[in-house]
Structure 1
Amino acid sequence: MDAHATYLFTYGTLMQGFDNPFAERLHNNSVFEGTGHFPGLLYLISWYPGAVFDADSPTKVHGEIYRLSSLEALIVELDDYEDVFEDENSSLYLRKTVSITKESGETVDCWVYLYNQPVTGLPLIEEGCFKRLG
Structure 2
Amino acid sequence: MHVFVYGTLMNDFKNSIAEFLRNNSTFIGKGITNGEIYDLGSFPGAVFDENSFNTIYGEVYKITSNIEAVISALDTYEGINDPTFNYYEKKEAFIQVHTTQIKASVYHFKKCPNGFKRIESGDYSKYLDSF
Q: Calculate the TM-score normalised by the size of structure 2.
A: 0.91
Distance 1:125 1:13, change over 3 A: same
Secondary structure at the counterpart of residue 118 of structure 2: coil
Q: 2:55 touches 2:122 (CA, 8 Å); kept in 1?
A: yes
For the pair 1:73 / 2:73, whether they are aligned, the reply is no
Q: CA deviation at 1:105?
A: 2.2
Say yes or no: does 1:27 pair with 2:41: no
Instruction: Report the Cα offset of residue 101 of structure 1.
Output: 0.8
Task: Name 1:105's counterpart in structure 2.
Answer: 99
Please state if 1:85 is matched with 2:72.
no
Q: Unpaired segments of 5 or more residues in structure 1?
A: 1-5
TM-score by structure 1 length?
0.89
Which residue of 116, 124, 127 maps to 1:130? 124
Provide, for residues 2-60 of structure 1, a one-character-per-residue CA deviation record: whole Å limited to 9, x for no partner.
xxxx0010000000020111001011110111111110000000111000011111011
Query: Which 5+ residue runs of structure 2 have no aligned equivalent?
Result: none
**Rounded Cα–Cα distance in structure 2 between residues aligned with 1:60 and 1:131:** 14
- Over aligned residues, Cα RMSD in angstroms? 1.5
Cα 1:131/1:86, change in 2 over 3 Å: closer
Distance 2:106 2:3 in 1: 6
| Deviating 4+ runs (over 4 angstroms) | none
> 90, 95, 99: which one pairs with 2:90?
95
| Number of residue pairs matched by the alignment | 127
Task: Report % sequence identity.
Answer: 35
1:119 paired to 2:100: no
Q: In the alignment, which residue of structure 2 is the partner of 1:3?
A: none
Give the direction of change, closer, same or farther, for the CA distance of 1:132–1:90 in structure 2 (3 Å limit).
closer
| In 1, Cα distance between equivalents of 2:10 and 2:22 | 9
Q: Distance in 2 between matches of 1:48 and 1:96?
A: 19
| 1:91 CA drift (Å) | 2.1
